[in-house]
Chains A and B, each alone.
Chain A
Amino acid sequence: MSRPLSWAKANLFGSPASSLLTVLTLALLWQVVPPLVDWALIGASWGAGDPERCRAAGGACWTLLTERHRLMLFGVYPYDQHWRPALAVALFIALLAISANRRCWKPWLGGAWALAVMIFAALMWGGVLGLAPVETSQWGGLPLTLVIAVLAIAVAFPFSILLALGRRSGLPAIRAVSVGYIELVRGVPLVSVLFMASVMFPLFLPEGMTIDKVLRALVGMTLFTAAYLAEAVRGGLQAIPRGQFEAADALGLGYWRSMRLIILPQALRLVIPPIVNQFITCFKDTSLVTIVGLYDLLAASKAALNDPAWRPYFVEGYLAAALVYFCFCFFMSRYSQWLERDLRQGNR
C-alpha cells in the first residue's frame, strides 16, 4: 500500500465512526466550498467602481475595499494627510516586531517605545514641524486601535505590579485595597468601565476641567487592564520559591531592594507570555471603544458601510476588518506560545 493511502486509512478511516465522520464532513465541504469559491473569487467584483458594479457581478464585492479601505483604516482623519497615520502605524508595527526579538530586550527598548509614542503623537496631532494640527476627535481606524492597546498595556503594567505586590503584602489594609480593586474591576464588564470613563469622568473632575474623549477611553482601558495584568503578575510572584525571599532577607536587602533585584526580575520573566496574551485581549477589547463613540478600526469599518448603497456588502467589509485583527492576534498568540516554550527550555 502506498504512503498516502496508508496515511488516509490511519487518519481518515481509522474506524467505522471515523469513516462516517470523514464522509459527512466531505459532504458538508462539498456543499459549502464550491459556492464559497464562486462567491469569493469567480463571481467577485474586483477593482475600483461603484456599488452598481458589485450588483452586476453578483459575487463578493471586493470593490468595496478598493473604494473604502482608507476610510476603514484611518477613519475620518483628513484624507490628504493619511500618510501620517500610515507612517505612525508602520512605526508601531516595526517596533512590535523588534520587541519580539529576545536579543532586543535591553533597557534601550523602553526608551525606543517612549520615543515611538512621542513620534506617534507628533505625527497624529501635528502642529509641529509644519504638520497641520488634527484634533483627536478626527483620529480613527487602526492607529487609534493600536495606540489605545499599546498605551493601555504600558501604563497598566507598573500599576499592575504595585497591585500584585499589594495583594501579596503582609499588611492587611494594603492587601484589602489591592484585592478590592482587582476583584471589583474583574467582576464588572469592560463596557461598564468604558461607560463610566466616558460619562462619569467629566463629573469626577473639578468644574471647568475637561478631559479628551480618547484619553477617557484610554484611562478606562488602562484601569481595566491593570486588574487582569495584576493577576498575571501575581501568578509569577507565586511561582518564585519562598527560599528566594528568605535568601534576600538574610542578606539584609530589605523589601523594596529584594523585590527590585531578586523577585521581580525572576517573576516578570515568567509572566511575559501571559502579558502578551493580555495584550492580545486588550487589542481585541479596544474594539469596545466603538460603543462609547470613538472611531477605532471596527467603528471606522462600520462607518464605511453606512452608505446604503454599500450596506449589502457588509460581510466583505467586516471580513477585511476581521482579517486585520486576525493577523495581529494570531501572530502574537503564536509568538506567545513559542516564547513560553523557549523561556522554559532556556531557563538556566
Chain B
Amino acid sequence: MASLWSNLRFRGLLYQVLVVGAVVALGGWLVHNTLVNLAARGIATGLGFLGREAGFDISESVIAFSPSDTYARALLVGLLNTLVVSGLGIVSATVLGTLIGVARLSGNWLVGRLSTVYIESIRNVPLLLQLFVWYGVVTSLPVARLALHPLPGVFLSNRGLVIPGLDWSQGWLPILDIPHLAGFNFVGGLTLSPEFAALLAGLTVYTAAFIAEIVRAGILAVPKGQTEAALSLGLSRGQILRLVILPQALRVIVPPLTSQYLNIAKNSPLAIAIGYPDLVAVSNTAINQTGQAVEGVALVMVVFLGISLALSALMNWYNKRVALVTR
C-alpha cells in the first residue's frame, strides 16, 4: 500500500478520482435534494412546460406574440430581444468608445480632459445605477403631445423615442416613413420603448468608457517610430491613422474588445430592473408561473454560454485574420 501511495501515476490517478468523485457526489446530492424538494412542493420537472400556453403578454417583440402562444415562443421572444439590444449596444458602444478613445489621445487639451472625465466618472459607477437614472430620465420626459422635437421626424417623449423608419409594404422600393402626432400618440416611424431606449443608452454609455480605454491602449501600443516612418514617407495624418496605426492597433485591441462585447451581452439582463422583456425577464416570469426554477435558470445559462462561445469563436477567427494580414 505504502509503495502504491508513493507511485507517481497512482497518486495522480487517485487525486483525479477523488476530485471528480467529490464533484459528482456534490452534484448528485444537490440533484437529489432538489428532486425531493420539488416533489414535496408538487412542482413538475422536465422541459414539458415549454409546450404549454404561456398566458402572459410581452410588452415588445420583434416577432408576433400573444398570451396564447407557448412558453417556448415566449422565451424565443425574450432571446430575440436580448440579441437585438446586445447587437445594437455593441455597434453604438464601439462607435462612441472609439470616438472617445481617439479624443483622449488628440492633441487638444480640452477634448482630452473631457474624455478623461467621461471615462472616469462612468467607469466608477455601477451600471445598474446608471440604468435607473436613464430610465428615470426617459419616463419623466413630457407626454407625447408635448414631445421634444430635436430633429425633423424625431420625437422624444415618455412613450419613448420615435424616429423615421422605412416602409417596405408599398412594393419593392422602401418609402421613408416619417412619424407624426395623431391624437395622444405617434403614427408611423419606428418607436423605441422607454425601457429599450434606457437600456440601450445605459449599455452604450457604460461600455463605451471601457472601449475607449482599450482603443487608447491599442493606439499607444503602436511604436512612435511607425508614425515617424509614415510621416517621412509623406503620408497625411488621416492616412497614417487609417493605413499604419489602426491595422497594428487592432491586434492589441481585438482580444479585450471581445470581452467587452461579451460584457454587453452579459449585462443586458439588467433589463429586468427596468422592465425590458429580455430573456432573463421572460424566463423569470415563466419560473414564477410554473415554479420550474431549475429548468428556467439552466435554459438561460445554456443560451448565454452559447452566445459567449459564438462571440469568442467569431472574434478568434477575426483575430487570426488580423494577425495574419499584419505579419
Contacts and interface: CB of A to CB of B under 8 A. Distances in A.
Q: Do chains A and B touch in the complex (CB under 8 A)?
A: yes
Interface of A: 10-12, 14-15, 18, 21-22, 25-26, 166, 170-174, 177, 184, 186-192, 195-196, 199-200, 202-207, 280, 284-285, 287-288, 290-291, 298, 301-302, 312, 314-315, 318, 321-322, 325-326, 329-330, 333
B280 A199 contact: no
A136 B172 CA distance: 63
B269 A192 contact: yes
B19 A191 contact: no
Given A177-B23, A330-B120, A314 B269 contact: no
Given A171-B12, A189-B267, A321 B106 contact: no
Nearest to B15: A171
Interface string B28-46: 0010011011101000000
21 contacts: A11-B109, A184-B301, A188-B266, A188-B305, A189-B280, A191-B269, A191-B270, A192-B297, A195-B297, A200-B293, A200-B297, A203-B33, A206-B36, A291-B270, A291-B273, A301-B129, A312-B140, A314-B132, A325-B129, A326-B121, A333-B123
A190 B309 CA distance: 17
A207 B36 contact: yes
Interface in B121-166: 121, 123-130, 132-133, 136-137, 140
B80 interface: no
Given A18-B107, A195-B280, A287-B126, A189 B34 contact: no
Interface residues of B, number: 56
A314 B136 contact: yes
A203 B41 CA distance: 10
Contacts of B107: 10-11, 14-15, 18
Contacts of B305: 184, 187-188
Contacts of A315: 133, 136-137
Interface string B296-323: 0100110011001100000000000000
Given A21-B108, A285-B126, A298-B132, 18 more contacts: A12-B108, A18-B106, A18-B107, A173-B16, A174-B19, A199-B287, A199-B293, A200-B297, A203-B33, A203-B293, A206-B36, A207-B37, A290-B273, A298-B128, A314-B133, A321-B129, A326-B125, A333-B123
A189 B136 CA distance: 24
**Interface SS of chain B: helix, strand, loop or mixed?**
helix
Interface of B: 12, 15-17, 19-20, 23, 30, 33-34, 36-38, 40, 106-111, 114, 120-121, 123-130, 132-133, 136-137, 140, 265-270, 272-273, 280, 284, 287, 293-294, 297, 300-301, 304-305, 308-309
Contacts of A188: 266, 300-301, 304-305
B108 A205 contact: no
Which among A26, A187, A199, A333 has the highest number of chain B CB atoms within 10 Å? A187
A248 B30 CA distance: 40
A76 to B, nearest CB: 19
Contacts of B287: 199
Contacts of A189: 265-269, 280, 304
Contacts of A202: 37
Contact of B16 (A171, A186, A329): A171
B40 A291 contact: no
Contact of A195 (B37, B126, B284): B284
B232 to A, nearest CB: 19
A329 B125 contact: yes
Nearest to B41: A203
Q: In the A-B complex, list the 5 residue pairs whose CB atoms are closest, starting with the nearest.
A: A329-B124, A173-B16, A11-B109, A187-B308, A287-B126
B129 A22 contact: no
